[in-house]
Structure 1
Amino acid sequence: MTELSLIRNFSIIAHIDHGKSTLADRLIQVTGGMTERELKEQVLDNMDIERERGITIKAQTVRLDYTASDGKTYELNLMDTPGHVDFAYEVSRSLAACEGALLVVDAAQGVEAQTLANVYQSIEHDHEIVPVINKIDLPAAEPEKVKAEIEEVIGLDASDAVMTSAKSGIGIEEVLEAIVQRIPPPQGDRDKPLKAMLVDSWYDPYLGVVILVRVMDGVMKKGQQIKFMQGGTVHLVDRVGCMRPKIEQLPELGPGEIGFITAQIKEVEQAKVGDTITLAKGGATEALPGYKEVQSVVFCGLFPVDAADFEKLRESIGKLRLNDASFTFEMENSAALGFGFRCGFLGLLHLEIIQERLTREYDLDLITTAPSVVYRLTMTDGSTQELHNPADMPDPVKIDTMEEPWIKATIYTPDEHLGSILKLCQDRRGIQLDLTYVGGRAQVVYELPLNEVVFDFYDRLKSISRGYASFDYEQIGLREGDLVMMNILVNNEPVDALSMVVHRSQADPRGRALCERLKDLIPRHMFKIPIQAAIGAKVIARETISAMRKDVTAKCYGGDISRKKKLLEKQKEGKKRMREYGNVSIPQEAFIAALRMGDE
């Protein structure tokens, strides 16, 4: 058991690509957590996607032993948190388990939107924040300017910021000393009833569900009967330990310590992030504050390109769900796409990651329908219901009002791209709240409907700012909107996979664009095919695919015109009948391309 005064729990806060994982690698290396042979880039990022994209998706923890300049050996618990807004709740729980944070800022790029969001969360938890200016060896580095920016934007004193280059190994000892000297030790009482916070959980094929915990009071050891206060389930602890980064078993976890337990839990769903763990008998009476159910924000349908792969998709989604309890799925049947699943995600990046993992790890070809958000409908009889799938829209006559989720977005951009970004936000029904300048960059704050952001906002933002703009958002609740259901009809038949809920002002241009796109994608048939976008019974856009024509009059040489007319009339009748009974086959590529609308 380690003395409380010798424990330091801290997390690293940074924007994507500011060197957070590299700094974690160096700290592990310097404290001897891994030998030179075992060390690889981004030690704490387990997934291939994390390595390739340079992002952290799952929070990781590692325990390091460091002998400081005062001769004492400290136990440092490092929590590498995800930086992306989709995982904001996970980040908040990780921060609640710490007493301090390293704020890593790139010396060449300065403060960015995600850094701000997570720093404010950290300040709310009363953390001691140590600014670390990374990448000081880059030719474009301007550490003094970045210091001034940290003071101006965040309001933190950056005069004693630690200067490092994680890649070259400069300043790593100084970071460790700063952690020991400036971050306070945890509080906790060994004699009180057990109270621990469930910070994270993941599935291990050999151990079952592994739970990451931060012990607040009391002691956790093997053989205890524990209870999850929010989940209400009771389990028997069969293993206690910590990560260094390899798994190491321990006799117990005392107050202030962070480690893991296994307790014969079969499903990650039972171990909810933020739950309070106590003893089944004689445990704590009050749960720790801050727990909330994770809500899916973005929904879309996942369908296999080959219908025979449906069972494989069901199995793969089930396996992924073992490791990630934050996405939900239920079966869905579409007339156009066959059997598939309607899945709910925490945000767009989460959707992209799950989709990519299914494609890569389980070798599936998928079609994703257009992402949509959850709408709240108030019916004329006073009842309310949630709409997850546009295809389930009730009769508009019965709907009194429709509400959609809104977000508050903060965008950082270099000055020269400001005009086009403001135009993009205005086009997406944005309401400007604030525009300030920090150094040579503008900070814009907008309120936007989430529906407009889900579509292709992030891609457009990155392309018009050449990748320089950074974007972060938080949800601000539901607001009433003039929303309508737009159906796409091909040969007078509605195509359920292409139906979407849009704002009335956006319906015409979006319907027109979708019809034009489908006209190019659907092959010609022997009869004329109308493609229409309609709101209720009113058609707002139409394109026609002309028929392939056989020249039936080719065999007529000269003679009376009535012979030709007779043949053409006969053909006309045949085409009419064919159109009544003919089916239009829409190729899969047409769906994929139509649903990727707006990518150019």
Structure 2
Amino acid sequence: MSSNIRNFSIISHIDHGKSTLADRMLELTATIAPREMHEQVLDRMELERERGITIKMAPVRMLWHPHRRLTQNETQKDAEWIQGDDFLYKDLTYKIRGIFFDVRKKLGLGHKEQIYHNALEIEFKKNGLVFESKKNIPILYDGNNIGLYQPDFVVEGKVLIELKALPEISRPQTEQLWSYLKGCEYKVALLVNYGSKDLEIKRIVYDKSRPSSSALSALSALSLRESAGVSNQVEEYVLNLIDTPGHVDFAYEVSRALSAVEGVVLLVDSTQGVEAQTLSVLSVAKNLGLEIIPVVSKIDAPNARVSDIVSEVALLLNCPESSILRASGKTGEGVAHILNTIVEKIPPPKSTGAGVQALIFDFGYSDHRGVIVYARVFGGKIAKGDSLRFCAAQTDFQALEVGWLTPRETPSEVLHEGEIGYIVTGIKKAGIASVGDTLTSVRNPSHALPGYSPPAPVIWASVYPESQDDLVLLRQSLERLRLSDSSLSYEEESSGIMGKGFRCGFLGMLHLEIIIERLRREFALNLVVTMPTTVYRITHTNGKVEDIYSPAHFPDEGTAKRVEELWSKVSVIAPPEYYGAISQLLYDHEAEIGETATLPDGKMQVYADMPLRELMRGFFDKLKSVSSGFASLSYELLGFRDADVVRLDVLVADEIVPAFARIVSRRRVQHESEAIVKKLEELLPRQLFVLKIQAKAMGRIIAARRVSALRKDVTGYLYGGDITRKMKLLEKQKRGKKKMLARGKVDIPHDVFLRVIRDS
């Protein structure tokens, strides 16, 4: 029944604890088995776990049973432990887990056990933990001492730690440690494996005073339970969570997720307070009319300002402070209360009253099963074998499989109205499935749902394979990435020097960086990427209007009637003591500062209009630098305005190199010219002739450098005689150098392109 379904998302500024809170929810609802649990479990890409950020939205289905009545044989303490709020030594074990991950980050994988043992000793001391190493523990069997067990560590006299460096942990290691616990006085052990693939931690408990594993299994399954003749039926709620990214570059992912839910959990970090992206995602949620549940997170942090941040959020939402929830994703405190509040406050899905309607909010691809769409069913139901149709593409297919994401794909017989799940289409052709399209029945089609506006690329960059033999692989790789990232756009182009490649559109610099890194890692491609640029609208002298995405196509000085560029409205939130430095930074990036406001916690919020070109010129990194990391940023596009920009070309050996071309502000052309020729002077290898490096703009050479020629000692074999013999040889060498200077060409190494772009 849809009345027992709750669809919600977690939204916040970046690094406010969304993924950690989602981990605790999955643990608390027993969605994931303890042996499979790890940090950032919904962040499936290696890049997400490395950087500690969410890049892709991640849907997951959970089962929750609020306000379960106790049977005669259960105590309140047992019930709380079953719900996950008070498991044994929770604070200590979470602290130890954090140390394990710190060692993993610093040391990496592949070392011997003793290396990790020594590193953990250092970390335990740094964190003030009392521990014993290689302690002898007697093992009892029927009350008799049958031997000694020597764990790697005993921490705080409570938790045993067993270290491994195996390819993976198998069942025998787990059962062996459990049997040791059974025969000694300790109750909790952590089996830690720095394996060949990743860090693996298993928490093993043996405590006769706790409920039995069979009782826990029954509670997890939430069937009817009979105890002492009392029937206790527990109401089951289906919670469909869509975890969202927090970085401003992935705002399109957030907007798609929010269109598929009825409510959101708004997280605000108790150490940071309200930040720029908090206000941005909150505005989207309000515009969609979603129920908002405010939560102050990280309340266990030493520098948490819980009461201050609660007051700030209450003023922001115009609600009483008592309605602001408090939680810690690290320790799990308050998470059960959040789940209960979701059940109480977020409304169940409403019926559209039409036939089959499912909104596609994301999709993936499998080599064997084709396109797999992730959809929210707004009307009717979808079963395996149903004939369905893409409304926009007008393409029919048969549902090969339907199911839920738990978070792995779990097949089911049918997806009912209000549910979120996946549908295997079997389609292996790109361009048919699209985000925002509606699935409907072929037999009884319904009208399409309002979809999403297509994402507008913010920056563009050309991507070329190092070897033209990889062009087909690059095309196929971009098609595959497009299936999992609908905000990526690309079109084929060619360059006289670089060969054939693709002009790609991205939502920001981080989005560009992620896509390029995925192409290199997932498809083993060696790439050359040109300088990223924004779109320019050119009005030619004949009245023709054209959008330019590449500096190579930008008109020469004086040949265009009008040049326009995209502008953005920037919101910066920072402590007031950094206002002066931020104002100077905004001026340096050609911003027009607008109104300022003081937030309830004393921070300043500054609004400014800025060319998008300048926003992408390292503004975010510089903002973090001048504000000591305290400033936060969000922006939205405003439209086109007149631009005072010119094309800067780079000539190497009198030949223009298109990959180095860029569009710069007229007032910065001298600085940019000198910087690029100086960088190339350092990077380009010496040739057999004098190498000229020049920067050209506005019809003239702005800056130039020379790299001296390699010179062979042509007189080295002479050991005497007239000086004219040496002069004759030197003159001959000079004539040869002059001829090479006129005819010579330079082969620029690919790593030079990469380093110039990276440093710029």
TM-score of the superposed pair, with normalisation by structure 1: 0.91
> Which residue in the other structure is 1:8 paired with?
6
2:738 paired residue number: 576
Which position in structure 2 is the counterpart of 1:376? 537
Return the match for 1:528 from 671, 677, 690.
Answer: 690
**Aligned match for 1:421, one of 582, 593, 613:** 582
The structure 2 residue matched to 1:443, chosen from 597, 602, 605, is 605
The residue that corresponds to 1:365 in the other structure is: 526
Residues 205-214 or 539-548, more deviating:
539-548
| Counterpart pick for 1:64 among 62, 65, 68 | 62
Number of the residue aligned with 1:510: 672
Residue 84 (structure 1) shift: 2.2
1:392 counterpart = 2:553: yes
Identify which range, 87-96 or 324-333, moves more after superposition: 324-333
1:303 is aligned to 2:301: no
Task: Tell which deviates more after alignment, 421-430 or 391-400.
Answer: 391-400
* Identical pairs, percent: 43
- State how far apart, in whole Å, the 2-side matches of 1:464 and 1:340 are: 38
1:139-218 alignment runs, 5 A limit: 139-153=302-316, 155-189=318-352, 192-218=354-380
| Distance across 1 between alignment mates of 2:546 and 2:307 | 54
Q: Counterpart in 1 of 2:124?
A: none
Between structure 1 and structure 2, the one with the greater Rg is 2
Counterpart AA for 1:7: I
What SS does the corresponding residue of 1:133 show, helix, strand or coil? strand
Query: For 1:236-315, what aligned pairs fall within 5 Å after superposition?
Result: 236-267=398-429, 269-285=431-447, 287-305=448-466, 309-310=470-471, 312-315=473-476
Match of 1:119 in 2: 282
Describe the shift of the 1:275–1:546 C-alpha distance in structure 2 as closer, same or farther (beyond 3 A). same
Give the Å deviation of 1:119.
1.0
How far did 1:435 drift?
A: 2.3
Q: Residue 406 of structure 1: SS of its match in structure 2? A: strand
The residue number in structure 2 matching 1:50 is 48
671, 688, 706: which one pairs with 1:544?
706
TM-superposed deviation, 1:398: 4.6
Q: For 1:83-126, what per-residue CA distance to the aligned partner results, in whole angstroms no more than 9, with x for missing partners?
A: 22222223112112111110111111212222221111001111
Residue 563 of structure 1 deviates from its aligned partner by 8.9
Query: Any residues of structure 2 matched to 1:54-93 within 5 Å, and which?
Result: 54-69=52-67, 71-93=234-256
8 Å contact 1:268–1:324 — kept in the other structure?
Answer: no
Q: Deviations over 1:358-382 (max 9, x none)?
A: 2222333333211111222222222
Partner of 2:3: helix, strand, or coil? helix
Residue 588 (structure 1) shift: 2.9
Residue 23 of structure 1: aligned partner: 21
Q: CA deviation at 1:460?
A: 2.3
Query: Is the deviation greater in 359-368 or in 300-309?
Result: 300-309
Once the two structures are superposed, residues 26-72 of structure 1 have per-residue CA deviations (whole angstroms, 9 ceiling, x without a partner) of 11221121221122222211111111212112211111121121753
Deviations 1:300-320 (A, max 9, x none): 122344566555544433433
Pick the aligned partner of 1:355 from 509, 516, 519: 516
SS in structure 1 of the partner of residue 245 of structure 2 = coil
TM-score for both structures, normalised by structure 2: 0.73
Deviates more, 1:536-545 or 1:51-60: 536-545
Q: Deviations over 1:137-182 (max 9, x none)?
A: 1111111111122234454544321111111111111111111111
SS in structure 1 of the partner of residue 664 of structure 2: strand
Alpha-carbon distance between aligned partners in 2 of 1:422 and 1:347, rounded to the nearest angstrom: 23
268 and 526 in structure 1: CA distance in 2 versus 1, 3 angstrom threshold: closer
Distance 1:246 1:304, change over 3 A: closer
Letter matched to residue 488 of structure 1: V
Secondary structure of 1:356's match?
helix
Aligned to 1:344: 505
CA distance in 1, matches of 2:589, 2:465: 31
Post-superposition Cα deviations, 1:463-521, rounded to whole Å, max 9, x if no partner, equal: 33333322222111122212221111122211111011222122221111111111222
The separation in 1 between residues aligned to 2:32 and 2:726, in whole angstroms, is: 88
Deviation at 1:240, TM superposition (A): 2.1
Distance in structure 2 (CA, Å) of the matches to 1:474 and 1:332: 29
Please state whether the residue corresponding to 1:467 is helix, strand or coil: coil
Residues 268 and 323 in structure 1, CA contact (< 8 A), matched pair in contact too: no
Cα gap change, 1:75 to 1:234, in 2 (>3 Å): same
How many Å apart are 1:13 and its aligned residue? 0.6
Question: In the alignment, which residue of structure 1 is the partner of 2:484?
Answer: 323
**Which amino acid in the other structure matches residue 54 of structure 2?**
T
The amino acid that maps onto 2:581 is: S
Q: Secondary structure at the match of 1:23?
A: helix
Contact 1:267–1:322, Cα closer than 8 Å, also in 2: no
Q: Partners of 1:132 and 1:363 in 2: how far apart? A: 42
Corresponding residue SS for 2:376: strand
Q: 2:52 & 2:522 partners in 1: Cα distance?
A: 19
CA shift, 1:551, in A, is 7.3
User: What letter matches 1:27 in structure 2?
Assistant: M
The worse-fitting range, judged by mean Cα deviation, of 60-69 and 214-223 is 214-223
Name structure 1 gaps, 5 residues minimum.
none
2:358 is paired with a residue of what secondary structure?
strand
Instruction: Give the conservation status (yes or no) of the 8 Å contact 1:390–1:485.
Output: yes
After TM superposition, give the deviation of residue 536 of structure 1 in Å.
Answer: 4.8
**Equivalences for 1:448-467 in 2 at 5 Å?**
448-467=610-629
Q: Residue 67 of structure 1 aligns to which amino acid in structure 2?
A: H
- Choose 68-77 or 348-357, whichever is displaced more: 68-77
Give the length in aligned residue pairs: 593
Deviation, structure 1 residue 12: 0.4
Cα distance in 2 for residues equivalent to 1:215 and 1:321? 23
One-letter code aligned to 1:22: T
8 A contact 1:26–1:172 mirrored in 2:
yes
The separation in 2 between residues aligned to 1:96 and 1:317, in whole angstroms, is 27
- Structure 2 CA distance for partners of 1:319 and 1:213, relative to 1, 3 Å: closer
